[in-house]
Amino acid sequence: MESSAFEEFIRNRCEEVTESDEISKRMDNFISKTEENLKSNFSKEQFSLFLQYEKMVINQQEHISKLVYKQGFNDRCALK
C-alpha cells in the first residue's frame, strides 16, 4: 500500500507537468468553453448527469496517471 504522502507527491507532480504544457492548456480551454455551451443547452437534470459523468472520467484519468507514474517510478528503481 502506498503512503498518502507519496500519493500527494504524484498528484502534485502531475499537475506541475501538465500546467506548463501548451497542449493541456488548449484542451482545458476547449473543455471549459464546451462545458459552458452544454450547460446553456442542457436541462438541469441533463447537466447534472453530465457533471457526474465528467467527474467519473476525471477520476479515471487521475487514477490512470497515478498508476503510470508509480509504474515508471518502480521500473526506474528496478533498473538500477
Domain count, the chain: 1
Cα Rg of the chain (Å, integer)? 17
Give the tens place of pLDDT for each residue, 35-54: 999 989 999 999 999 999 99
Q: Coil, strand or helix: which one is 37?
A: helix
pLDDT along the chain (80 residues), means of 10: 78 86 93 92 94 94 88 78
Range of the structural domain that residue 48 is part of: 4-79
Q: How many CB atoms lie within 10 A of CB 28?
A: 13
Of the CA atoms within 13 Å of residue 80, those in its CB half-sphere come to 5
